[in-house]
Structure 1
Amino acid sequence: MLSPAAPLPAPLDARASGLMLLLCLTWGLQQISLKAVADAASPMLMVAVRSGIALLLLAVLMRHRGERLVRAHWAPGAVAGGLFALEYVFVSLALQLTQASHVVVFLYAAPLFAALGLHWRLPAERLGRRQWAGIALAFGGVAIAFLNGDTAPGAGLWGDLLALLAALCWGATTITIRCTRLAQAPATETLQYQLIGAFALLLPVALLSGQWAFDATSPRVWAHLGFQALVVSFASFLAWCWLLRRYLASRLGVFSFLTPLLGVLLGAWLLDEQLEPAFMAGSTAVLAGIVLVSLRDGPRARLRTRVSAAPARAAWRASRR
């Protein structure tokens, strides 16, 4: 159900841009962390366990703030939680069939799905020609950086398809958050639904699919689990939900194109992976695309957005009387 009464989201400012860069760095490290301990802990099980730990931390935070743990937005919350869990099911399966670089490329096509869906659902998320050009340039840069390089020889088509399905789930999760009453919910509530979905669904799937490896005697596994639970699932996802409620999701989404590029840079630094010339060319295109999409709209464009959003807001207020 569309919820036009939510505050009109703002273009990116310096605070949002800086926080998104930090989130991209964290999410890039997430992939390296999961890969680093994959021989001792199944990625799917790691995601399930980290979600359970982050859920407990979130419950403590909500109780400290005096927020109710059970709220009225359970229907869209269940959808968001299910999509969030399904995304990681596809990611885990894709990593078994194709190379990690291909998974990253197709996973971060998610902002394209989100921007396209939000373009048709929310007047405030309408994309202009500059934004369309920026999205095309950014995604083209990611494709050049990874698909034209030699980073993933022999990648499987089915693995690529699963990664693309994961991106579709991520994009659908963003649309669900922005186009339902979750747009008015606190970020803690939105994250709560996603963590519940990931923990409740991924745990049995990991067991049934045989992805149950976890070396509890390894300090390395516990260190990476701490990073995954405290930094990734708790802090970064909470910040992401907060940003989605206040800023244009299509602009935020394009920033996430930086994540696979930062992941490759971190891989070259931490895992001694080689950088291909295609990556350098692609990264330049991605940064240029982000600049195009992130530039503030002119006064006329902002006026058109407010005018187009006004009827929807008025109708919602009338329905609430």
Structure 2
Amino acid sequence: MRLPLVRLAQLAALFTGVQIGSTLVATRIALDELGPMALGFLRYGLAALCLIPAYLASARTVIAPTDKGPLLLLGIGQFALLAVFLNLGLVFISPDRVAVAFATLPLVTMLAAALLGAERMSLRLGVAGMLAVAGVALAFSADLAQAGEGLAHEVVGIACVLVATLTVATCSVLFGPYLRRYPTVQVGTVAMVSAACALLPLAIGETWALAPGVLSAATLVAVAYVGISSGAGFLLWLFALKHAAPTQTTLLTSTSPLVAALVSAWLLDTQLRAAVFQGFALVFAALLLCLGQKRSTVPPP
């Protein structure tokens, strides 16, 4: 029996959470040899190249002139601004802490959706959001506690991640009307290409890092993974946003900090603690609440 679209959307959002967590670690590896702007350009340039064949092979709808500008801006916000602030955050703080800060995305999306009139507030989703944030905070509480006075030096990194979070939350809500009008592949490709074009001027100052023979094999693999997975991940993200509410979709990505911790322990030799698994129990409880929530969007006028 085929799964209903809303369940497929939830699975897509869960996969996106895994992709986000693993990509944060790969990004941290690549930033040892690449600047944050150059890496952002390579990431979304590769992602766009992966999406273009699907775009050319798919049925497309003529984009209304009044929708072209907003779609381009949303692509720049969702990807170019995200890449800039998230990569800068990873320069200052570790992937697991970036993931903890980014895990506030469900609550920020919930607030943005309510303020923009796209979704009704729900007590169930509110409790799920608080459980998810509490879970990821608990998962890394020991690391944050050990930071002590050094935590003050991470303020810039945390601020960058929170700006990225606010940007993604707002764009996730605003993408909704365009996903209802146009095919997912079409919207995704336009957004990726616009982001890559916006990042190119910022990456020019870092072109020394793009010279042939400069990058190590580990960095090349990390860049390839980040770019290709971003293309596939964003298509799944848009599919989830199209068939599930923005708040529910972002809640289902709350596994990303735990994925980041596990992958960091594997590739970067960071230490795992029992608190990680205790935090996962809270995140899992939030996911169960989220999966049982029916879509509660505000009907368009």
Kept after mapping to 2: 8 A contact 1:83/1:172 = no
Kept after mapping to 2: 8 A contact 1:134/1:288 = yes
Say whether 1:213 aligns with 2:206: no
Alignment partner, residue 121 of structure 2? 127
State the shift of 1:293 in Å: 2.0
State the shift of 1:44 in Å: 3.1
Aligned ranges for residues 143-162 of structure 1 at < 5 Å?
A: 143-150=137-144, 153=147, 154-155=150-151, 156-162=154-160
Distance 1:152 1:270, change over 3 A: farther
State the shift of 1:296 in Å: 3.6
Of 167, 180, 185 in structure 1, the residue corresponding to residue 182 of structure 2 is 185
1:182-218 per-residue CA deviation (whole Å, 9 max, x = no partner) reads 432211222123212321222222334x585236323
Name the aligned partner's letter for residue 25 of structure 1: V
- Structure 2 unaligned segments of length 5 or more: list them: none
Alignment partner, residue 235 of structure 2? 238
Distance 1:50 1:162, change over 3 A: closer
Kept after mapping to 1: 8 A contact 2:20/2:256 = yes
Kept after mapping to 1: 8 A contact 2:51/2:189 = yes
State the shift of 1:176 in Å: 1.4
Distance 1:229 1:97, change over 3 A: closer
Kept after mapping to 2: 8 A contact 1:94/1:160 = yes
Kept after mapping to 1: 8 A contact 2:97/2:140 = yes
Say whether 1:24 aligns with 2:24: no
Of 39, 44, 54 in structure 2, the residue corresponding to residue 51 of structure 1 is 44
Name the aligned partner's letter for residue 186 of structure 1: P
Kept after mapping to 2: 8 A contact 1:63/1:69 = no
Structure 2: how far apart are the matches of 1:43 and 1:225? 12
Q: Which has the larger radius of gyration?
A: 1
Distance 1:222 1:71, change over 3 A: farther
Cα-Cα RMSD: 2.7
Alignment partner, residue 74 of structure 2? 80
State the shift of 1:49 in Å: 1.5
Alignment partner, residue 201 of structure 1? 198
Alignment partner, residue 85 of structure 2? 90
Distance 1:147 1:198, change over 3 A: farther
1:146-166 per-residue CA deviation (whole Å, 9 max, x = no partner) reads 244358732411221111111
Alignment partner, residue 98 of structure 2? 103
Alignment partner, residue 293 of structure 1? 290
Structure 2: how far apart are the matches of 1:288 and 1:128? 16
- Structure 1 unaligned segments of length 5 or more: list them: 1-9, 316-321
- Other structure's SS at 1:149 match: helix
Query: Percent of aligned pairs with the same residue?
Result: 24
Say whether 1:64 aligns with 2:57: yes
Say whether 1:164 aligns with 2:148: no
Kept after mapping to 2: 8 A contact 1:78/1:197 = yes
Kept after mapping to 1: 8 A contact 2:30/2:39 = no
Distance 1:104 1:44, change over 3 A: farther
State the shift of 1:11 in Å: 8.6
Kept after mapping to 2: 8 A contact 1:106/1:163 = yes
State the shift of 1:244 in Å: 0.9
Name the aligned partner's letter for residue 32 of structure 1: V
Alignment partner, residue 4 of structure 1? none
Q: TM-score, normalised by structure 1?
A: 0.80
Q: TM-score, normalised by structure 2?
A: 0.85
Structure 1: how far apart are the matches of 2:262 and 2:145? 13
Kept after mapping to 1: 8 A contact 2:96/2:260 = no
Kept after mapping to 2: 8 A contact 1:120/1:126 = no
State the shift of 1:219 in Å: 3.5
State the shift of 1:70 in Å: 6.4
State the shift of 1:43 in Å: 4.1
Distance 1:161 1:18, change over 3 A: same
- Other structure's SS at 2:175 match: helix
Distance 1:161 1:118, change over 3 A: same
State the shift of 1:222 in Å: 2.9
Of 221, 224, 228 in structure 1, the residue corresponding to residue 226 of structure 2 is 228
Structure 1: how far apart are the matches of 2:169 and 2:208? 28
